A and B are shown apart, each in its own frame.
Chain A
């Protein structure tokens, strides 16, 4: 079929033909079995789209949204931030549990003694404060000299 004949068939299905073009379409359909066959085939495609369209509930606003490939970074960001939030919650819960259970307690004197011994060892290390400060004014030295765990 010639392109302008196909245009007439599409124009008919689109409902956009002028009266003059409609006359041309009728002449074409009377004269050409191929045109009639093509019209029936195109109308079959159209009928299928129409039946799918009648089931379509997707708001047309979605059609102007970016394609999924372009939207992926946003979804990835959301997924990662959700996973990070979940991981943070788990970490906080673990820290809470550990701080409750790992604290040396009178029931475990050996552990408390071990930690104190380690702190004393650190205190004995020759870590000197910067020379600009006297020993008594050095925050580092003050920290090292202080026992970490209340006795």
Chain B
């Protein structure tokens, strides 16, 4: 291997590592945006997979890595709209103007999203163990709410209610934590 080849290999590896570091850092915020638009986990995964592929292919065109979050959000918004056009006929998908607003405002909230995600780690720890396990199990791949409800001897409706209550409790906990950090009463 020549010195030029070696330099190119090193540069490629550095680029890959940079991309992975940036994408991993912002992945949850991107997931949150796509999740807000799509109710089904499989659809969320499909869109996110496209987002990561497109972002990787175009990563070389990103000149300023500090703008990665906004850049990746634009890709996610585009992929979200593409998915919407392809699937809107056979399922309930938010209209384009609403997706646009969610994306636009979501990009502005990127720093807040990071704070929310950090606070969420502590709030999840505070949640009673059985509630936490149940909430996480409900989101595991291959798990259906119907199957989980049957296994637990509960109705689907009661399980959905429990998940909604858990989601809201976690959100309230996050809001309280951020209010305390911000010095609000």
A15 lies within 8 A of B39 (CB) = yes
Q: How many pairs of residues, A versus B, come closer than 8 Å at their CB atoms? A: 143
A40 lies within 8 A of B167 (CB) = no
A11 to B90, CA, bound (A): 18
In the complex, chain A residues 42-71 whose Cβ is within 8 Å of any chain B Cβ: 42-54, 56, 58, 60-64, 67-68
Tier of interface size on chain A:
35 or more
Q: Which residues of A contact B133 (CB under 8 A)?
A: 58, 62-63
From B33, B97, B167, residue with most partner A Cβ within 10 Å = B167
Q: Which residues of B contact A52 (CB under 8 A)?
A: 124, 136, 139
B40 lies within 8 A of A44 (CB) = no
- Known A26-B94, A40-B106, A50-B41; judge A14-B160 contact (CB<8 A): yes
From A19, A33, A37, residue with most partner B Cβ within 10 Å = A37
Cβ of B31 within 8 Å of any chain A Cβ, yes or no, is yes
A54 lies within 8 A of B160 (CB) = no
Q: Which residues of A contact B86 (CB under 8 A)?
A: none
A63 lies within 8 A of B35 (CB) = no
Q: Give chain A's interface residues, CB within 8 Å of chain B.
A: 6-7, 10, 12-17, 19, 22, 26, 29-30, 33, 36-54, 56, 58, 60-64, 67-68
A-B contact pairs, 29 of them (CB 8 A): A13-B39, A13-B164, A14-B160, A26-B94, A29-B101, A33-B105, A36-B102, A40-B33, A41-B175, A42-B168, A43-B32, A44-B29, A44-B116, A46-B139, A47-B35, A48-B117, A49-B138, A50-B35, A51-B28, A53-B138, A53-B139, A54-B139, A56-B137, A56-B139, A60-B143, A60-B148, A62-B133, A63-B134, A68-B129
In the A-B complex, the 8 residue pairs with the closest CB atoms: A53-B139, A15-B39, A43-B36, A10-B164, A47-B31, A44-B32, A47-B32, A43-B35
Q: Give chain B's interface residues, CB within 8 Å of chain A.
A: 27-29, 31-33, 35-36, 39-41, 44, 92, 94-95, 97-98, 101-102, 105-106, 109, 113, 116-117, 120, 124, 129-130, 133-141, 143, 145, 147-148, 151-153, 160, 163-164, 167-168, 170-171, 174-175
